[in-house]
Amino acid sequence: MTRTTTREAGFAECAQVDIDDLLRSHGLRPTKARRLLLAHLKSTTRHPSAEEITDQLRRDGVGIGVATVYQNLSRLVDAGLLIRLSGSNGCSRYDADVSSHDHAVCERCGRVADFDPGPRVRNALEEVSPCDTGLGEWSLTRTSVEMLGICPECRAS
């Protein structure tokens, strides 16, 4: 199991042309919105929601509508370039790290952080077969552990 641990370091040298190639290799035309969204999500580990992404892009001087953001995030998820996570408050969050990895969710603010549950848990998850879990008709694409808790910022406030 390979894990992406150097995402931010990797993105520093990831030029626009790589984003374009990535989009094309996943069957998507590299439009301005898709480039921006993918580049933004690859530069952060915050697992932002569509609203947070829109706000951040606007703060960066990019005028983009929330409908355009939603629509293109969906295309990127369908193409396998992003993972959509269901947040604790029903609002989806997005992750450009599509490798198998696990998330801790703050029950107060909904913030999502990556964590590593260690090799024993990972190995156990990889051995899960649909038949053992009452999901005999399913084909599993990904397994993950979700930890719920209160994040450091919420604990401090």
For Zn ion, which stretch binds (CB under 5 A), given 7-15, 18-26, 60-68, 147-155? Answer: 147-155
For Zn ion, which stretch binds (CB under 5 A), given 30-38, 59-67, 133-141, 145-153? Answer: 145-153
Element (H, E) at 56: helix 50-59
Comparing CB distances to Zn ion, the nearer of 48 and 54 is: 48
Comparing CB distances to Zn ion, the nearer of 63 and 118 is: 118
Comparing CB distances to Zn ion, the nearer of 64 and 77 is: 77
Place of tokens 């408050």: 89
For 99: left if phi > 0, alpha if psi spans -120 to 50, otherwise beta; the answer is: beta
- Supply the minimum distance, in Å, between the C-beta of residue 101 and Zn ion: 5
| Sheet strand arrangement including 102-106 | 112-115, 102-106, 146-149
Q: What is the DSSP letter of 144?
A: -
109 binding Zn ion? (CB under 5 A): yes
Tokens coding 24: 């094309």
The count of chain residues that interact with Zn ion, using the rule CB under 5 A, is 9
Axis-axis angle for helices 66-78, 50-59 (nearest 10)? 120
For Zn ion, which stretch binds (CB under 5 A), given 3-11, 36-44, 57-65, 144-152? Answer: 144-152
**Which residues of the shown chain bind Zn ion in the complex (CB under 5 A)?**
95, 97, 106, 108-109, 111, 114, 151, 154
